[in-house]
Amino acid sequence: MLWLKISLPIVLIAGAALAAVALFAARTPAVQKPAQPPTLLVDVAVAKREPVTFSVRSQGVVAPRTRTTMVAEVPGTIVEVSPAFVAGGFFAKGDVLVRIDPRNYETAMKRATATVAQAKTKVATENALAGYAYRDWERLRSLEAADRPASDLTLRKPQLAEAVAGLESAEADLEKATEDLSRTVIRAPYDGMVREKRADIGQFVNTGTPVAETFATDYAEIRLPIPQTDLQYLELERLNADGSLQATLRADIGGVIHNWLAEVVRNEGVFDPDTRVLHLVAQVQDPYASEGEPLRIGTFVSAAIEGMDAGDVFVIPRHSLERGRTLWMVSSETRRLAAEPILTIQPRDLEVVRTDEGFAYVAAGLRDGERYTVTPPENSLPGMRVRINSE
């Protein structure tokens, strides 16, 4: 019994150990799965051809077509000004803007008129006297039976010539007096606006004294600088054939964006030697029209000028390109033992015909329906697996 008490625990422990060893030996070893390559999350877009007309962007300041410094043509005191004769005042062609005291000039014209009348009377008198002298000479010659010629003095020709010259001088003085009187009234030479008022009622002005700065409002002009590299996208030959290019002007006024249509009508023909740009000139008809926002002189505007027809090209966001011409394409691959197609990326060089501030225009290297990454992936390698952000 003593032996049984001692050997039984030993037997149980040994059996348990043998069972544990057998169980461990019979266990199926775990299958080690290969490590999956990292998957990059990307946003994609689909390439699609679309018709494109290039536009060239520029900017400039609105200026008047015609500007004038109005001056007094005769001296005198300003006795009247128009209600429109203020900075910003509108006027029509022919409107009286300033009137200079006309009394001295009216007096001068009356005197000149009287002098002309006297000169006409003298001419008429000399004509009559010349006629009498000729008849007297004819009678005297018939009595003397002589055939000698009469002198000019006998026929009063010098006196008549003097009277005619006096009349011409008097008429010239009258013409000048009439013009001086008309110049006491300063009229608007065109439809326009007063930019700066330099004289006012009661002020004495001399000949040549500036009274106002004005400009025409029939249309405004904007000089638009174009770099040499952008000229290839414009059909400038249309300007040489008395045509024009369409342009859209844009300005932020009081936090509101306004647009105006303009026509590019000419180029200035020379490159600026400092900036190497060619200036085009755009015109806007009736910039102060009552309908819509007026395009005020001095407004800074940006311009989009109609360019050449590029045909059907791919328009790609500029930031999608790497080094200006490489696009990362997304393609799907079907691999053995894979439950679904695997997406990978590959770089592709494109034929870029133009880039602007926001887009690149691609003529070749893409097909409709192909997918590409919206932004170039960082630290990427060809063939790297990706996952689309929206999926």
Domain containing 286 equals: 56-65+217-310
**Rounded CA gap, 308 and 286, in Å?**
28
Regarding whether 228 and 302 lie in a shared domain, the answer is yes
Say if 363 falls within a structural domain: yes
Tokens for 220, please give them: 């405004």
What CATH number has the domain bearing residue 256? 2.40.30.170
**Residue 3: its pLDDT value, please?**
47
**Residue 283: its pLDDT value, please?**
95
Regarding whether 192 and 112 lie in a shared domain, the answer is no
Say if 224 falls within a structural domain: yes
Give every strand in the sheet of 96-100, ordered side by side: 185-187, 96-100, 76-81, 204-205
Regarding whether 124 and 111 lie in a shared domain, the answer is yes
Say if 3 falls within a structural domain: no
Helix spans in the chain (H): 2-26, 103-144, 157-182, 237-240
Say if 80 falls within a structural domain: yes
Tokens for 23, please give them: 């169980």
Regarding whether 106 and 234 lie in a shared domain, the answer is no
Give the DSSP H or E segment for 327: strand 326-333
Regarding whether 169 and 288 lie in a shared domain, the answer is no
Say if 194 falls within a structural domain: yes
Instruction: List pLDDT tens digits, range 185-233.
Output: 999 999 999 999 999 999 999 999 999 999 999 999 999 999 998 898 8
**Residues of the chain under the 70 pLDDT cut:** 1-38, 143-148, 152, 154-155, 290, 334-340, 391
92: nearest Cα among 159, 212, 167, 192:
192
Question: Do 282 and 229 touch, CB atoms closer than 8 A?
Answer: no
Domain-terminating residue out of 183, 207, 235? 183
Regarding whether 212 and 79 lie in a shared domain, the answer is yes
Count of CB atoms situated within 10 Å of the CB of 38: 8
292: nearest Cα among 316, 320, 258, 321:
258
Phi/psi-derived region of residue 349, left when phi > 0, alpha when psi is between -120 and 50, beta in every other case: beta
Tokens for 386, please give them: 């990706």
Measured in degrees and rounded to the nearest 5, phi and psi for residue 188 equal -70, 130
Tell me the three state secondary structure of residue 294.
coil
**Rounded CA gap, 10 and 75, in Å?**
142
**Residue 35: its pLDDT value, please?**
52
**Rounded CA gap, 31 and 65, in Å?**
86
Say if 335 falls within a structural domain: yes
Regarding whether 138 and 114 lie in a shared domain, the answer is yes
Regarding whether 373 and 327 lie in a shared domain, the answer is yes
Domain-terminating residue out of 271, 289, 310? 310
Q: What is the dihedral of CA 129, 134, 135, 136, to 10 degrees?
A: 90
Residue with the two structure tokens 């009349």: 167
Say if 175 falls within a structural domain: yes
Regarding whether 367 and 294 lie in a shared domain, the answer is no
Regarding whether 76 and 209 lie in a shared domain, the answer is yes
What CATH number has the domain bearing residue 210? 2.40.50.100
Regarding whether 194 and 95 lie in a shared domain, the answer is yes
Q: Which residues contact 278 (CB under 8 A, 6 or more apart)?
A: 225, 226, 228, 231, 267, 268, 270, 271, 272
Domain-terminating residue out of 273, 295, 310? 310
Q: What pairs with residue 205 in β-bridges?
A: 76
Please state the domain count of the chain.
4
Angle at 196 between CA 192 and CA 202, to 5 degrees: 110
What CATH number has the domain bearing residue 369? 2.40.420.20
**Residue 14: its pLDDT value, please?**
57
**Residue 2: its pLDDT value, please?**
47
Say if 177 falls within a structural domain: yes
Tokens for 238, please give them: 């249309």
**Rounded CA gap, 192 and 92, in Å?**
6
What radius of gyration do the chain's Cα atoms show?
49
**Rounded CA gap, 244 and 263, in Å?**
6
Question: Do 181 and 106 touch, CB atoms closer than 8 A?
Answer: yes
Regarding whether 169 and 46 lie in a shared domain, the answer is no
73: nearest Cα among 217, 180, 190:
180
**Rounded CA gap, 207 and 55, in Å?**
51
